[in-house]
């Protein structure tokens, strides 16, 4: 049976996420993340009957992004694969929303499951990691200003609130009164994660600007569409590709060219 999740399911959801190695913030093990998905989208579980009663064996979520139902998670325990649970979870989550998208993992069953519901592969979202460099020549016209969620000029204010609770820095790039871009950066000691960035300017300049606001030589991890000039810049700086997902959307979803960094789960 597929049903909406409640906080009573969070332990079971965390156990399933952990089986697949998702034990970081902004995954199924993170209660704040699960509340965000439940509050701003849908969170559902797949449950099977056993001798000891119903057991949760899968979960999935969606949030709203770019006018589409964005699939944040879709996991079924391996011993229950191939019984239609993943497909039914996905159907329950997207409901009658015709615009759908996700960042698909490389698991062999993931892409076919999304394709069955009309989402076609578009481009790679690359996970890149490397040392922060200050490239003064690229940022001479740009000023980076830390802002509060109330001053947030980007889309998805709920994400600014979510990450701000984790001590994020919210940055306006460019003139504070008329910013050309916005970025959200979290950190753990000397390791920074650029979670999301939009700009109406040049992507590489925006990436260089955010790096200029962070300590040189600290580590930076980020998630960049393969077509973005920001990816070219980070390749030039010898950033390592840790992994990638495949952006899958229905034909009517437009991801604007202002998107420089998109979070793999929350977009």
Ligand X SMILES: CC(C)(COP(=O)(O)OP(=O)(O)OC[C@H]1O[C@@H](n2cnc3c(N)ncnc32)[C@H](O)[C@@H]1OP(=O)(O)O)[C@@H](O)C(=O)NCCC(=O)NCCS
- In the window 94-153, what residues touch ligand X (CB under 6 A)? 104-105, 107-110, 112-113, 116
Residues pairing with 101 in the sheet: 70, 249
Q: Which two tokens stand for residue 207?
A: 């990436």
The 10 Å Cβ neighbour count of residue 92 is: 17
Taking CB under 6 A as the rule, does residue 61 contact ligand X? no
Sequential DSSP letters for 87-110: HHHHHHHHTT-S-EEEEE-S-TTH
CB nearer ligand X, residue 24 or residue 146: 24
**Shortest distance (Å) from residue 86 CB to ligand X:** 2
Q: In the bound complex, what is the minimum distance in angstroms from residue 110's beta carbon to ligand X? A: 4
CA angle (217, 219, 223) in 5-degree steps: 135
Residue ranges in 76-105 that form contacts with ligand X under rule CB under 6 A:
76, 81-87, 104-105
Closer to ligand X at the Cβ: 4 or 91?
91
Structure tokens of 42? 């849908």
C-alpha span between 219 and 139 (Å, rounded): 19
Does position 72 interact with ligand X (CB under 6 A)? The reply is no
In the bound state with ligand X, the residue whose beta carbon lies nearer, of 124 and 229, is 124
Structure tokens at 187: 């950190």
Q: How far is the CB of 114 from ligand X (least distance, A)?
A: 8
How many residues at the interface with ligand X, by CB under 6 A? 20
Provide CB contacts within 8 A for 97, sequence distance 6+. Answer: 68, 69
Kindly state the smallest distance separating residue 265's Cβ from ligand X, in Å: 9
**Residues that bind ligand X in the complex, under the rule CB under 6 A:** 20, 74-76, 81-87, 104-105, 107-110, 112-113, 116
């Amino acid at each position: 049976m597929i049903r909406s999740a409640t906080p009573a399911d969070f332990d079971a959801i965390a156990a399933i996420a952990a089986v697949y190695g998702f034990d970081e913030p902004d995954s199924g093990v993170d209660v704040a993340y699960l509340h965000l998905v439940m509050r701003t989208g849908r969170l559902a579980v797949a449950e099977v009957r056993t001798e000891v009663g119903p057991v949760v064996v899968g979960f999935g979520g969606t949030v709203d992004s770019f006018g589409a139902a964005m699939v944040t998670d879709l996991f079924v325990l391996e011993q229950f694969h191939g019984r239609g649970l993943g497909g039914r979870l996905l159907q329950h989550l997207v409901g009658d929303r015709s615009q759908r998208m996700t960042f698909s993992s490389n698991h062999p069953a993931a892409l076919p499951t999304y394709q069955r519901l009309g989402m076609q592969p578009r481009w790679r979202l690359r996970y890149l990691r490397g040392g922060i460099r200050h490239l003064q020549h690229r940022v001479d016209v740009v000023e980076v200003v830390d802002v509060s969620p109330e001053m947030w000029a980007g889309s998805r204010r709920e994400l600014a609130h979510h990450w701000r609770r984790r001590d994020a820095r919210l940055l306006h790039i460019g003139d504070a009164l008329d910013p050309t871009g916005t970025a959200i950066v979290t950190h753990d000691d000397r390791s920074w994660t650029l979670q999301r960035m939009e700009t109406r300017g040049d992507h590489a300049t925006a990436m260089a600007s955010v790096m200029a606001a962070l300590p040189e030589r600290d580590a930076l991890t980020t998630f960049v569409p393969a077509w973005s000039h920001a990816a070219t810049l980070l390749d030039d700086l010898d950033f390592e590709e840790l992994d990638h997902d495949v952006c899958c959307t229905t034909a009517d979803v437009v991801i604007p060219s202002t998107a420089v960094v998109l979070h793999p789960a929350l977009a």
